[in-house]
Amino acid sequence: MTAEILAVGTELLMGQIANTNAQYLSRRLAELGINVYFHTVVGDNPARLEETLKRALNRSDIVITTGGLGPTKDDLTKETISKTMNRELVLHEDILDGIRNFFAKRHRKMAEINKKQAYLPENSIVIPNPNGTAPGCIIEEGEKTVIMLPGPPKEMQPMFEATVFKYLKQRTGVILVSKMLKIFGIGESDLETRLMDLIESQNNPTIAPYASQGEITVRVTARCSDHNEASALLDPVVSEIKSRLGVLVYSEDGQSLEEVVFNLLKENGLVMATAESCTGGLLSERITDIPGSSEIFERAYITYANRAKVEDLGVSWDTLNKYGAVSHQTAMEMLNGLKQKTGASVGVAITGIAGPGGGTPEKPVGLVFIAAYVKDRFLCRKFELMGNRERVRNDACLHALDMTRRLILGVEQQ
């Protein structure tokens, strides 16, 4: 079964808003085993919408539209689709009452123009909208189906979950369930070599590795009728991948590296502090972006300048003059100063050259030293990272988080 997502709205074509609805719908349709082959965007123009709809129906089993269900004159999705599919628009008194109540609860009078939203194509299935005034609907025409949903995600998503997902699940009889293995510390080609026999022999479940921002995700997906069958299919494959990759796998449910570290800190009653130079607070931001981080995070020092390293963390001027700010010695002194200042049970210090300037033949752009401790276990590592400034800073944070994770777990470092 194939689907096409057709977003309606000139504001999308002009780049005024992003089409996040297509991303959400594609993900949920994939879980139902429905293949999405096309994302289409069309402006608020009846002729172009009709042409686009006909093309979509010609090549897809299901067309899901978002947007254009409002009360104004340029909201023409429903009218255009009804005309294209030879359906009359019929007033639904119960929907009209619901729209009136929607405004009454907000102590507002319903404008006459809103009555338009209570008209739906004849013989269609109503999709209630508890969060707005625009109901959706499902039109079945032979082997083709058109599903109309409003544009605002806060309205569209609950409507899809409550009505459309269940409707489509009954039609497909299958679901796709995935495990998302997150991996750090190995290259994509090396990983593929280790898993090549599994990838080549895959059927159900399927195995799909892809790299993203310095780490790798391996998606293992089972096509099945329910979650019990999914577990039976997924668990042996996931276990085999984990046995081959070991500690390189840091999550099997799609958690980020910072979320994994956050949970380890919480589970072990540990509190973290950071001292950052080239990353400028990016590491501490990632940790404190997680709700509840006040339980596990003590404080952060951003010691960008040498004077800050000396005054805030007690780094020696002699060390800076002899070895430089980007050195094993400076990283360790930053870390020791952090431990003395905070008394935190976990600490991380980062110093490096993020670029694009500042590098030398002896110390090129991308050179980073990361020092970390967990209680009485200390470690300092040198990294030569590649890429632009953003990539160097991002990868430095990933390495810092992974070092912290491994120190907490007491597993071998790379």
pLDDT (mean) for 397-404? 98
The pLDDT value given to residue 31: 87
pTM of the complete model: 0.76
The pLDDT value given to residue 74: 84
End-to-end CA distance of the chain, in Å?
Answer: 46
Whether 215 has a pLDDT exceeding 80, the answer reads: yes
The pLDDT value given to residue 414: 62
CATH 3.90.950.20 range(s) for the chain read 257-409
Query: Among positive and negative, which fits the CA dihedral 383, 388, 391, 393?
Result: positive
The pLDDT value given to residue 323: 98
The pLDDT value given to residue 226: 85
Convert the pLDDT of each residue in 268-298 to its tens digit.
999 999 999 999 999 999 999 999 999 999 9
The pLDDT value given to residue 283: 98
Whether 2 has a pLDDT exceeding 80, the answer reads: yes
Buried/exposed 5-22: b ≥16 CB within 10 Å, e otherwise? bbbbbeebeeeeeebebb
Distance from C-alpha of 251 to C-alpha of 262, rounded to nearest angstrom: 13
Convert the pLDDT of each residue in 324-344 to its tens digit.
999 999 999 999 999 999 999
CATH 3.40.980.10 range(s) for the chain read 2-172
Distance from C-alpha of 44 to C-alpha of 66, rounded to nearest angstrom: 12
pLDDT (mean) for 24-49? 94
User: What is the three-state SS of the chain?
Assistant: CEEEEEEECHHHHCCCCCCHHHHHHHHHHHHCCCEEEEEEEECCCHHHHHHHHHHHHHHCCEEEEECCCCCCCCCCHHHHHHHHCCCCEEECHHHHHHHHHHHHHCCCCCCHHHHHHHEEECCCEEECCCCCCCCEEEEEECCEEEEEECCCHHHHHHHHHHHHHHHHHHHHCCEEEEEEEEECCCCHHHHHHHHHHHHHCCCCCEEEEEEECCEEEEEEEEEECCHHHHHHHHHHHHHHHHHHHHHHEEECECCCHHHHHHHHHHHCCCCEEEEECCCCCHHHHHHHCCCCHHHCEEEEEECCCHHHHHHHHCCCHHHHHHHCCCCHHHHHHHHHHHHHHHCCCEEEEEEECCCCCCCCCCCCCCEEEEEEEECCEEEEEEEECCCCHHHHHHHHHHHHHHHHHHHHHCCCCC
Architecture in CATH for domain 2-172: 3-Layer(aba) Sandwich (3.40)
Whether 75 has a pLDDT exceeding 90, the answer reads: no
Tokens 């030398």 appear where? 360
pLDDT confidence band for 245 (50 / 70 / 90) = very high
Tally the C-alpha atoms within 13 A of residue 151's C-alpha that lie toward its C-beta: 23
Convert the pLDDT of each residue in 139-156 to its tens digit.
999 999 999 999 999 999
Query: Among positive and negative, which fits the CA dihedral 357, 362, 367, 368?
Result: negative
Whether 366 has a pLDDT exceeding 90, the answer reads: yes
pLDDT confidence band for 213 (50 / 70 / 90) = confident
Name the region of 375 (left: φ>0; alpha: ψ -120 to 50; beta: rest): left
Work out the mean pLDDT of the chain and round it to a whole number: 95
Query: Among positive and negative, which fits the CA dihedral 49, 52, 57, 60?
Result: negative
Both tokens of 335, joined, read: 């870390």
Query: What does DSSP say about strands 144-149 and 136-141: parallel, antiparallel, or unpaired?
Result: antiparallel
Q: Which of 70-74, 351-355, 402-406 has the lowest mean pLDDT?
A: 70-74
Please report, for residues 67, 92, 121, 265, the alpha-carbon distance to residue 151 in angstroms, rounded to integers and kept in the order given: 4, 21, 19, 41
Domain 175-251: which CATH number of 3.30.70.2860, 3.40.50.980, 1.10.8.60, 3.10.50.40:
3.30.70.2860
Whether 33 has a pLDDT exceeding 90, the answer reads: no
The fold of 257-409 is Maf protein (3.90.950)
Whether 175 has a pLDDT exceeding 90, the answer reads: no
Are 352 and 334 in contact, with CB atoms under 8 Å apart? Answer: no
